Amino acid sequence: MRAPSDSVDLSNLWMPFTANRQFKAHPRLLAGAQGMYYTTADGRRILDGTAGLWCVNAGHARPEIIEAITRQASHLDYAPSFQIGHEDSFRAASRIAALMPDGLDRIFFTNSGSESVDTALKIALAYHRARGEGQRTRLIGRERGYHGVGFGGISVGGISPNRKTFSGVLLPGVDHLPHTHAPEHNAWSRGQPAWGAHLADELERIITLHDASTIAAVIVEPLAGSTGVLVPPVGYLERLREITARHGILLIFDEVITAFGRLGAATASGRFGVTPDMITMAKGISNAAIPAGAVAVLRGIHDAILDASGSGIEFFHGYTYSAHPMATAAILAAQDIYEREGLFQRAEALSAPFEEAAHALRGRRHVIDVRNLGLVAGVELAPREGAPGARAAEVFARCFDRGVLVRYTGDTLAFSPPLVIDESQIAELFGTVAEVLDEID
């Protein structure tokens, strides 16, 4: 890819989750997007195998969303959400509530997945205090979990590089469940692996150690993405739900990547038939056209917090941009597209050919595991000796040069295309990866 024009100075921008020096030496710059494709600054088309960052579920530059945002900006560009409202914020909340499992019909709007997680953790603490159990302050996450980059999210998260720099100031009283990645038992799983439900029972040991009366909530991703696509074992989520309910502990599902069709249903909760007490979401809620997020909260939790307050503000939390008018316009337009085009059902229908294409990489050089569910797949590569992550990084770079965007985390390639992908594009996506794998050391 050619260097940027002389008019573009790359030095001032500190890029997130990026090897800045390497990127600026060999930049990959995008200039446009439409449907399933990005366009680079030098005019090449790039097939989007990652829906941006797990978020552009309906494909890029949807005219309906663009028109909704433009129309909104022309007559109400901003409205505060503290003590004032606008109608679309209530319409959007009703629309999202209708997609959630029964009872999770109180919606708190945020601007990102990180904000949604921190909001849910604060709601959990406020709920127990409202019920007279303010001693329930402990939070339980999971090893290899990713819950954004707020201090609450990285405290309950379990990815070491995200935590180590800030380890001295993370939230106290946090513990972690073991992760579910067990390739010695579950390599090459198609859908949910059969082994591993018992790993949820580790929560009982943690409860015995700390006492249930001190624990506010457990938060997990029903399907973990950023750590390398970990699909929950059969029965695992059900056990977490049973244990938390028995001990009066709230269960939070972080569905920032799984909500809005990724697994062939409106939510992973619906896909697995397990209903938590709260669901965090973002990304696909607005098709990523405008930053937006939300927390769906069990009505009883919401009511307990409100009922505990005599008058005035019941929950001292919120954001300047909560339910931003252009965000709610994008949310409503995105939901219209999902419903009108049946994209959740489309994802379910495409999951079989997507699975076959992913597992066709078995036997290719360097591939040691493939795992998948819905329109998500992880292809794990053997690491290079002394250089973990280098092989997957090279696959990413070479695929981009050939016009295909994949994502990598560690030595796992992650695939999560827009739900509008077709079978020929699925073949191109995995076929390009196969060619690259055959070429590299």
3 state SS for 78-134? CCCCCCCCCHHHHHHHHHHHHHCCCCCCEEEEECCHHHHHHHHHHHHHHHHHHCCCC
Distance (Å, rounded) from C-alpha 72 to C-alpha 369?
Answer: 47
- Look at residue 5 in the predicted model and tell me its pLDDT: 60
Kindly report which listed range (6-15, 298-307, 414-423) carries the lowest average pLDDT score: 6-15
- Tell me the C-alpha distance between 84 and 89, whole Å: 11
Residue-level pLDDT at 176: 98
Decide: residue 165, CB within 10 A, 0-12 exposed, 13-18 middle, 19+ buried. Answer: exposed
Stretch 289-312: mean pLDDT? 96
When pLDDT is cut at 50, 70 and 90, the band that residue 369 belongs to is very high
pLDDT in tens, 269-292: 999 999 999 999 999 999 999 999
Tokens read off for 17:
């989750």
Q: Which residue type, as a one-letter code, is found at position 62?
A: R
pLDDT for 310: 83
Mean pLDDT for the stretch of residues 135-143: 98
Residue 1 pLDDT: 42
Map out the domains of the chain with their CATH numbers.
Answer: 20-58+342-439 (3.90.1150.10), 66-340 (3.40.640.10)
Per-residue pLDDT reduced to its tens digit, 74-103: 999 999 999 999 999 999 999 999 999 999
Strand order of the β-sheet with 412-415 is 367-373, 376-381, 412-415, 407-409
pLDDT surpassing 70 at residue 329: yes
Q: For 151-169, how does the pLDDT look when each residue is reduced to its tens digit (9 = 90+)?
A: 999 999 999 999 999 999 9
pLDDT at 7 over 80: no
The length of the chain is 441
d(CA 50, CA 417) in angstroms, rounded, equals: 4
Q: What percent of the chain has pLDDT over 90?
A: 98
Confidence of residue 311 (pLDDT cuts 50, 70, 90): confident
Rounded-to-integer distance, Cα 192 and Cα 401, Å: 33
Residues 6 or more apart in contact with residue 344 via CB below 8 angstroms:
260, 261, 264, 265, 266, 338, 419
Q: What is the pLDDT of residue 6?
A: 63
Question: Is the CA virtual torsion 57, 140, 373, 267 positive or negative?
Answer: negative
Model pLDDT, residue 3 = 53
Distances (CA, A) of 160 to 142, 186, 200, 276: 12, 23, 21, 26
The 10s digit of each residue's pLDDT in 180-226 is 999 999 999 999 999 999 999 999 999 999 999 999 999 999 999 99
Tell whether the torsion through CA atoms of 397, 259, 63 and 112 is positive or negative.
negative
Q: Looking at the DSSP assignment, which residues form a beta bridge with residue 381?
A: 367
Decide if 222 contacts 269 (C-beta within 8 A). yes
Task: State what percent of residues in the chain have pLDDT above 70.
Answer: 99
Does 4 have pLDDT greater than 60? no
Angle, helices 325-340 vs 87-99, to 10°: value is 40
Indicate the average pLDDT of the chain.
Answer: 97
Give the number of other Cβ atoms within 10 Å of residue 12's Cβ: 5
Structure tokens at 350: 């495409």
